[in-house]
Amino acid sequence: MKILSVVGARPNFIKIAPLAEEFRKHPEIKHILVHSGQHYDYEMSDSFFRDLNIPKPNYNLNIGSGLSGWQIGRMIIELEKIYLAEKPDLAVVVGDVNSTLAAALTAAKLRIPVAHIESGLRSFDRLMPEEINRLLTDQIADYLFVTEPSAIENLLREGISKRKIFYVGNIMIDTLKYQISNIKSKNYKEELLKRFNLEPKQYAVLTLHRPSNVDDEKILKNLFETIEIVSQKISVIFSVHPRTQKQLEKFRPKSQFADCRLQLIPPVSYMDMLCLVSNAKFALTDSGGIQEETTALSIPCLTVRQNTERPITVEKGTNILVGQNRNKILKEVNKILIGKIKKGCIPRYWDGKTAQRIAKIIKNKL
């Protein structure tokens, strides 16, 4: 049984790690890993393979960044060669990045069955590039593995046969549970917090990278002015995504952050970010992955978006949508700082066994 998985960006690596580990337990499965090279920065790519013990990719396309059409087109050209050479029984794609759509589309054209991990998530905002990738990939896929009940409802409403849908849980939580003891070790935690001069629960973690937040000069400046106010109340550590860094250099927000506590740092490894989030007072983010991780860790999360494709993090978890509204952001920050914290619970199947369920279904179906 030959299974070919395609990854290309930080969230993909986190999701493929436990599945690659599970496949290694089954000698009848030959697993081939392809890295599109969509993320090429060391901390956005290579460090994840090191930290998560992901096998070295069998192929690395080294695509790099670029406009979506160019990026997806190059991926399709190169992936087609690999599919034809390897002739896999199944193509596995994860998440919602350009690599996901390119790999699914190429496989479908060659009549190779496609399994999509993290199917059915919808923001209902087609201005998000990821939303288009999700919609198209799910229409192509033969096996759709979902993380939450809303995803099942979305897929059925879009005409997907229920025979193709499998409720298996959140594979990102497999990785989190596997690594949590490492990041909670006294030495690791103390050394990391000391490196950034932080005290547990005395700081907030900030991440921003969505085009809707960083591509518009007016919006970005407003957010920075809001963050300046937040950082006067509590230290803020801002892990700056390469995309956001480019926009900061382009727009140069006028706020100089005088008399405030904001620390800008380059992208960090998965382990470091998980440790920073787990010890934070709260997270302020537009990342889908951090919405899920904070729910799993019971850390308050304020999401700088009008919507989320992960509604279970709001319904059952610790996530609150605050959009780009300064008053709402500050109101929720103040509530957290005085101890009025939203209580959440862990959703069903977020138990660290999702990869086992997926591997079992794939074996049975193939």
Which pLDDT score is estimated for 49?
A: 81
Which pLDDT score is estimated for 254?
A: 54
Q: What single-letter amino acid sits at 215?
A: D
In terms of domains, do 140 and 104 share one?
yes
Give the range of the structural domain holding residue 184, as residue numbers without chain letter.
Answer: 180-337
Higher pLDDT, 43 or 221: 221
Q: Is residue 344 part of a domain?
A: no
| Residue 82 phi, psi dihedral angles, 5° rounding | -70, -45
In terms of domains, do 254 and 112 share one?
no
Angle in degrees, 0-180, between the axes of helices 354-365 and 10-24, rounded to the nearest 10: 60
49-71 average pLDDT score:
89
Q: Is residue 6 part of a domain?
A: yes
pLDDT at 67 over 70: yes
**What CATH number is associated with residue 8?**
3.40.50.2000
In terms of domains, do 226 and 282 share one?
yes
Q: With bands split at pLDDT 50, 70 and 90, how would you rate the model's confidence at 201?
A: very high
Which pLDDT score is estimated for 290?
A: 96
Per-residue pLDDT tens digits for 233-269: 999 999 998 888 888 888 876 555 555 689 999 989 8
* Cβ-based neighbours of 311, under 8 Å, separated by 6 or more: 148, 150
In terms of domains, do 135 and 246 share one?
no
Q: Is residue 309 part of a domain?
A: yes
In terms of domains, do 226 and 123 share one?
no
pLDDT at 45 over 80: no
The dihedral over CA atoms of 160, 165, 167, 170, expressed in degrees to the nearest 10, equals -80
Q: How far apart are CA 230 and CA 226, in angstroms?
A: 6
pLDDT at 283 over 80: yes
Q: Is residue 65 part of a domain?
A: yes
Q: How far apart are CA 128 and CA 98, in angstroms?
A: 12
Count the domains in the chain: 2
Which pLDDT score is estimated for 325?
A: 96
Which pLDDT score is estimated for 241?
A: 85
Q: Is residue 64 part of a domain?
A: yes
Per-residue pLDDT tens digits for 120-153: 999 999 989 999 999 999 999 999 999 999 999 9
In terms of domains, do 257 and 327 share one?
yes
Which pLDDT score is estimated for 100?
A: 97
Which pLDDT score is estimated for 301?
A: 98
Q: How far apart are CA 284 and CA 204, in angstroms?
A: 7
The residue behind tokens 């506590």 is 261
Query: pTM of the predicted model, to two decimals?
Result: 0.92
Which pLDDT score is estimated for 169?
A: 97
Q: Is residue 314 part of a domain?
A: yes
Q: With bands split at pLDDT 50, 70 and 90, how would you rate the model's confidence at 9?
A: confident
Nearest-5° Cα angle at 301, 206 to 215: 45
In terms of domains, do 161 and 27 share one?
yes
Active site residues: 209
8-12, 21-25, 248-252, 317-321: range with lowest mean pLDDT? 248-252
Which pLDDT score is estimated for 253?
A: 63
Edge-to-edge strand ranges of the sheet holding 90-94: 59-60, 30-35, 2-7, 90-94, 114-119, 143-146, 165-167
In terms of domains, do 316 and 253 share one?
yes
In terms of domains, do 187 and 297 share one?
yes
Q: Is residue 175 part of a domain?
A: no
Q: Is residue 342 part of a domain?
A: no
Which pLDDT score is estimated for 40?
A: 60
In terms of domains, do 264 and 357 share one?
no
In terms of domains, do 240 and 288 share one?
yes
Q: How far apart are CA 14 and CA 99, in angstroms?
A: 15
Per-residue pLDDT tens digits for 323-358: 999 999 999 999 999 999 998 999 999 999 999 999
In terms of domains, do 51 and 126 share one?
yes
Per-residue pLDDT tens digits for 89-98: 999 999 999 9
pLDDT at 274 over 70: yes
